[in-house]
Amino acid sequence: MKREYQDAGGSGSGSSAAGGGVADMGSCKAAGEEEDVDEMLAALGYKVRASDMADVAHKLEQLEMAMGMGGVSAPGAADDGFVSHLATDTVHYNPSDLSSWVESMLSELNAPPPPLPPTPAAPRHASTSSTVTGGGGSGFLVDLPPAVDSSSSSYALRPIPAPVVATADPSADSARDTKRMRTGGGSTSSSSSSSSSLGGAASRGSVVEAAPPATQATAAANAPPVPVVVVDTQEAGIRLVHALLACAEAVQQENFAAAEALVKQIPTLAASQGGAMRKVAAYFGEALARRVYRFRPADSTLLDAAFADLLHAHFYESCPYLKFAHFTANQAILEAFAGCRRVHVVDFGIKQGMQWPALLQALALRPGGPPSFRLTGVGPPQPDETDALQQVGWKLAQFAHTIRVDFQYRGLVAATLADLEPFMLQPDCEADANDEPEVIAVNSVFELHRLLAQPGALEKVLGTVHAVRPRIVTVVEQEANHNSGSFVDRFTESLHYYSTMFDSLEGGSSGQAELSPPATGGNGGGTDQVMSEVYLGRQICNVVACEGAERTERHETLGQWRNRLGRAGFEPVHLGSNAYKQASTLLALFAGGDGYRVEEKEGCLTLGWHTRPLIATSAWRVAAA
């Protein structure tokens, strides 16, 4: 006969002391043995000898004290929560007798409880479920603890011991009854009376074993324990970072057997994470796999150019980085063109021409009327041989006509900026000799770093720019060092950089979802964000998986660009406080912009997420002889 009782905070029965716990009471004696049993307990279906009542009552009193001591003092509050969880959710099957059951309960309560984690300050994500499978094909469904926000945590990278999972014996499981404990979240797992810490400063796993009834002690002695390991998602996150860095180290050492074993673990570990961490790990895992298996896609340079422009447009819409780049560069150009009647802008990456309507409008509103504006747009050849550059020029010409600006446009198709020559960028020779000389500005947004893949290409381009004597040169580049000779250093820097970049995408999309939930579905998974993630993912793949001339995403820091431009004969132009104030105002208008930060650094402006600068705008001019 099986009976189930749950604690309701009431009292016991008969001559036993009142108890605040859960009791399944029963006794089992040899067949034919006659004993004097307590009548009141017998009426409830339990057989307890009258001679044992005093001992049982004493043990019940001890049990009541152990289970009630949580209300004595504040430090015991955690113990009270632990005991109430045990008492409320534990279901006992066929205890051999009341006395031995009370002893087992006392041993459970006297065991040191597992350390409880401190109350987190940051909001927690919904818990995720995972199936931990023992040997013999027996699986146990357990609830993993809520994930930890990777954006607010700094992981201490140190070796983590692997969890131990013993092999389960199916025959032993079927031969004995088990005691079941609910682990939270509604799922159940085989458990025992003890929990142990797996180690690690901020992560914890519980290992619990099934304890057999006393009447089946002999069978249980021959059966191995069946532990269930509950892995914290923060621990899985630390293991994920360790796996990524260890795989990068193995790649650098050309130990591809170890790298292959590690790269196979990354998708499983990444799946346990949520949000930006999962996406970043997936892209870095894919890039490592391409490097380990030496997989190179077919040559699709022309197709990539068209697709890259599409991704660039979505990246422009989803976050403020390109808007900031265009705004700050335009502000520097506008100030350089003050009082000039004929101006010429050379754009090293015209793409869809999104930067220039704002500058045209600002020039149209200038006191004294707008100047004559000429634009030279440089772009790669198109796969379908269409003249995409002329289409961009036609749209800009229509806009300039609307706001009454004298506008001229010329498109230059070049596979690389190194193909440009000074005469291609010179002022218009057909102009009247009496006209005011044309003032030139050169603009480069995320273009110069690609030249570092070709020896001498950057020096040639900077020499070409120097030859046309521009009034100002505006340069926007990623604020990161992804051009290190050490693969591990490059991998580590890019992992930190793109983790922050993806965090900013998540934060920005959350702000947009709050402002317009019907448009985005409230999940931050709009087309612009997804395509922006692909845009960044392609950069990750290039930084990690490619080498030589194929590795074009060779980002360098502002200090490194300062040295390169200084050697080429340029000196910095201070971006004024007016640009800083207006850039800050621009970010305030961007949904979810609370995490973005504009900083002024030695006359340059940087935009970052919280404390990490991500892009930098600088302005230059030809140094005085």
The band of 468, judged by pLDDT with boundaries at 50, 70 and 90, is very high
| 366 & 495 share domain | no
Tokens linked to 186: 């509604």
| 414 & 355 share domain | yes
Average of per-residue pLDDT across 132-142: 36
CA distance 238 to 150: 10
> CA dihedral defined by 316, 322, 326, 332, rounded to 10 degrees?
170
Is residue 559 a part of any domain in this protein?
A: yes
Query: In CATH, what number is assigned to the domain containing residue 375?
Result: 3.40.50.150
| 582 & 561 share domain | yes
Ramachandran sector of residue 137 (left: φ over 0; alpha: ψ -120 to 50; beta: rest)? left
Is residue 215 a part of any domain in this protein?
A: no
CA distance 311 to 49: 81
Q: What is the pLDDT of residue 384?
A: 74
Is residue 125 a part of any domain in this protein?
A: no
Average of per-residue pLDDT across 521-542: 81
> CA dihedral defined by 181, 186, 188, 192, rounded to 10 degrees?
-20
The band of 129, judged by pLDDT with boundaries at 50, 70 and 90, is very low
Cβ proximity of 197 and 228 under 8 Å: no
Q: What is the pLDDT of residue 46?
A: 60
Is residue 257 a part of any domain in this protein?
A: yes
| 325 & 339 share domain | yes
DSSP 447-465: -GGGGGGSTTHHHHHHHHH
Cβ proximity of 227 and 165 under 8 Å: yes
Residue 257 has pLDDT above 90, yes or no: yes
The band of 138, judged by pLDDT with boundaries at 50, 70 and 90, is very low
- SS3 percent helix, strand, coil of the chain, rounded to 5, is 45, 15, 40
**Residue given tokens 């984690």 in the structure block:** 117
| 316 & 391 share domain | yes
pTM score: 0.64
Total domains, the chain: 2
Cβ proximity of 606 and 615 under 8 Å: yes
| 490 & 503 share domain | yes
Is residue 291 a part of any domain in this protein?
A: yes
CA distance 565 to 459: 9
Q: Where do the DSSP E strands lie in 63-184?
A: 90-91, 129-133, 139-143, 180-182
Q: What is the pLDDT of residue 236?
A: 82
The band of 51, judged by pLDDT with boundaries at 50, 70 and 90, is confident
| 350 & 389 share domain | yes
CA distance 498 to 540: 8
Q: Tell me how crowded residue 595 is: count the other CB atoms within 10 A of its CB.
A: 18
CA distance 497 to 601: 19
541: nearest Cα among 591, 491, 484, 479: 491
- Please identify, among 532, 553, 574, the residue that sits at the C-terminal boundary of a domain: 553
- Least confident range from 103-117, 155-169, 371-385, 547-561: namely 155-169
Average of per-residue pLDDT across 208-221: 45
Q: What is the 3-state secondary structure (H, E, C) of 338-400?
A: CCCCEEEEEECCCCCCCCHHHHHHHHHCCCCCCCEEEEEEEECCCCCCCCHHHHHHHHHHHHH
- Quote the distance between the C-alpha of residue 205 and its chain's center: 23
Q: Which amino acid does the sequence have at 112?
A: P
| 600 & 617 share domain | yes
DSSP 491-507: HHHHHHHHHHHHHHHHH
Is residue 111 a part of any domain in this protein?
A: no
510: nearest Cα among 500, 496, 497, 521: 521
Is residue 439 a part of any domain in this protein?
A: yes
Is residue 572 a part of any domain in this protein?
A: yes
Q: What is the pLDDT of residue 300?
A: 53
**Residue given tokens 């389960």 in the structure block:** 168
Cβ proximity of 212 and 220 under 8 Å: yes
| 562 & 417 share domain | yes
- Quote the distance between the C-alpha of residue 232 and its chain's center: 17
CA distance 427 to 344: 8
CA distance 157 to 239: 9
| 236 & 264 share domain | yes
Q: Tell me how crowded residue 297 is: count the other CB atoms within 10 A of its CB.
A: 9
By the 10 Å C-beta count (0-12 exposed, 13-18 middle, 19+ buried), 414 is classed as middle
| 475 & 486 share domain | no
Tokens linked to 66: 């152990």
The kind and range of the H/E element at 305 are helix 301-318
The band of 597, judged by pLDDT with boundaries at 50, 70 and 90, is very high
Residues 6+ apart with CB under 8 A from 375: 344, 345, 347, 356, 393, 396, 407, 408, 409, 410
The band of 104, judged by pLDDT with boundaries at 50, 70 and 90, is low
Distances, alpha carbon 482 to alpha carbons 154, 206, 312, 339, 354, in Å: 22, 41, 20, 40, 27
CA distance 438 to 372: 9
Tokens linked to 115: 């350390």
Q: Tell me how crowded residue 81 is: count the other CB atoms within 10 A of its CB.
A: 13
| 501 & 600 share domain | no
Share of the chain above pLDDT 90, in %: 47
| pLDDT per residue as tens digits for the range 437-459 | 899 999 999 999 999 999 999 99
602: nearest Cα among 569, 564, 562, 543: 562
Quote the domain boundaries for residue 259: 232-295+481-511+524-553
Residues 6+ apart with CB under 8 A from 380: 302, 305, 413, 414, 415
CA distance 290 to 251: 11
| pLDDT per residue as tens digits for the range 297-334 | 555 555 577 788 889 999 999 999 999 999 999 999 99
- Please identify, among 553, 569, 603, the residue that sits at the C-terminal boundary of a domain: 553
CA distance 164 to 167: 10
